């Protein structure tokens, strides 16, 4: 069958599925906002140009119903979010109470429908993974959203909703791993007291929201690793080998949710980390065989070329596709058509952002300050296990 693959023991398993929507193609937070750039539509177009996204593997995301969103968000907040989209304005009281209409969380045309669509994808993913498999939803990963307010560009918290959906559909122990440059404060808020949800976050220290200290442990299943500026591929490999993979394997989860934010690479304007996209792909691949259910979400990513290339490579990794040394003309056309304009300047791509999917690896010294923090978490892992 075209829509299944064979496991090593001969069992048929569904091919990975990609959940997407056309709502993201022309939707923007505004001409000045970091999320003015196209992202999900680029991944869809680039994956199709590579011949990697046949119709059988693509699922159109539903829009979550309000009742489904109340698993985490308050009815009052959801009503305010819908009303703000309809009116295209908010009162001072609503802005103060729910953080809508702020610089970070502006009023824009699809400010309810767009996040409700990515939330719908995460809710659907939990249902589709009931019997196992792999789901990719690059529109997901909005990990800052709080129950009663928008936060950090995130109006809803689809990772929380995904974990809840997985649990409703049979997953008892869930590992959540977050490699975005920013700490997932909304997810930690939801599950810090839940011993059946393992949380691991690798994020830049002294970066907004300035939460997720090394010493923040919840009830023992929260592992935060703030890293210094300049984190390189070799340091991320060390973190993966000594912290992420042993923790997840020891937890023995029924499901893994990976938030694969693309803002930790060198080219991204919202962090000072210096990873290549190879570092993300290596973690995506390493987690793949550990649990029967695997959901990979997007997250941050504000350079349209680097995020489009990284997230398309995630889809290739999940499917086992070989990434070519040079992109075919159709794929180069997709990347060549992108623009990155801001209020005061226009950004121009480097040549390899158009011709190549894979970055040159960005290795380097494994610094003592990174080793020390890894050692601290590794020691805590030994005690925890």
CA distance 225 to 19: 30
Task: Report the alpha-carbon distance of residue 214 to residue 216 in Å, rounded.
Answer: 6
Round to whole Å and give the CA distance between 17 and 57: 5
pTM of the model: 0.96
CATH superfamily of domain region 4-63+112-384: Histone deacetylase domain (3.40.800.20)
Q: How much is the pLDDT for 164?
A: 98
Regions of the chain with pLDDT less than 70: 1-12, 218-220, 385
Q: What are the phi and psi torsion angles at 136 (to 5°)? A: -120, 125
**Is 144 designated active site?**
yes
State the alpha helices, DSSP H only, in 259-367: 277-287, 304-319, 329-336, 351-355
User: In terms of Cα–Cα distance, which of 4, 20, 1 is closest to 12?
Assistant: 4
Cα–Cα–Cα angle for 270, 179, 162, rounded to 5 degrees: 110
Q: Say if residue 53 is exposed, middle or buried (CB neighbours under 10 Å; 0-12, 13-18, 19+).
A: buried
Q: Which two tokens stand for residue 282?
A: 């290596």
pLDDT of res. 1: 34
Tokens 């829009």, located at residue: 63
252: left (phi over 0), alpha (psi -120 to 50) or beta: left
Task: Show me where the domains of the chain are located.
Answer: 4-63+112-384
Residue 151 in 3-state DSSP? strand
> What's the pLDDT at 381?
85
Kindly name the residue from 33, 98, 144, 280 that is annotated as catalytic: 144
Q: To which residue do tokens 């119903």 refer? A: 65
């Amino acid at each position: 069958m075209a829509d299944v693959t064979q496991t090593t023991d001969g069992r048929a398993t569904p091919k990975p599925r990609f959940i997407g929507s056309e709502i993201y193609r022309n939707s923007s937070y505004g001409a000045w906002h970091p999320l003015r750039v196209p992202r999900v539509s680029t991944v869809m177009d680039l994956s199709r140009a590579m011949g990697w996204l046949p119709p059988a593997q693509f699922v159109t995301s539903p829009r979550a119903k309000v009742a489904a969103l109340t698993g985490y968000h308050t009815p009052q907040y959801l009503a305010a979010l819908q009303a703000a989209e309809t009116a295209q304005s908010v009162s001072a009281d609503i802005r103060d109470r729910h953080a809508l209409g702020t610089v970070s969380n502006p009023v824009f045309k699809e400010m309810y429908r767009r996040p409700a669509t990515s939330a719908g994808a995460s809710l659907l993913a939990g249902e589709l993974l009931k019997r196992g498999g792999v789901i990719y939803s690059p529109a997901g990963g909005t990990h800052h959203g709080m129950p009663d307010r928008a936060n950090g560009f995130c109006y809803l918290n689809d990772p929380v909703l995904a974990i809840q959906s997985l649990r409703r559909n049979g997953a008892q122990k869930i590992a959540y791993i977050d490699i975005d440059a920013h700490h997932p404060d909304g997810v930690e808020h939801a599950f810090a007291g839940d011993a059946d949800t393992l949380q691991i976050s690798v994020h830049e220290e002294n970066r907004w929201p300035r939460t997720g200290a090394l010493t923040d442990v919840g009830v023992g299943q929260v592992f935060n690793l703030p890293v210094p500026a300049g984190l390189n591929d070799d340091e991320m490999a060390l973190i993966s080998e000594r912290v992420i993979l042993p923790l997840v394997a020891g937890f023995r989860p029924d499901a893994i949710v990976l938030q694969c934010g693309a803002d930790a690479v060198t080219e991204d304007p919202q962090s000072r980390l210096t990873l290549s996209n190879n570092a993300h792909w290596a973690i995506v691949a390493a987690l793949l065989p550990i649990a029967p259910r695997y959901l990979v979400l997007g997250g941050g990513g504000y350079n349209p070329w680097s995020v489009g290339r990284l997230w398309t490579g995630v889809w290739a990794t999940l499917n086992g596709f070989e990434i070519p040394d040079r992109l075919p003309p159709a794929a180069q056309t997709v990347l060549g058509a992108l623009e990155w304009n801001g209020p005061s300047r226009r950004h121009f791509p480097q040549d390899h952002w158009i011709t190549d999917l894979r970055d040159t690896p960005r290795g380097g010294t494994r610094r003592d300050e990174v080793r020390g923090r890894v050692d601290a978490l590794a020691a805590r892992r030994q005690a925890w296990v």
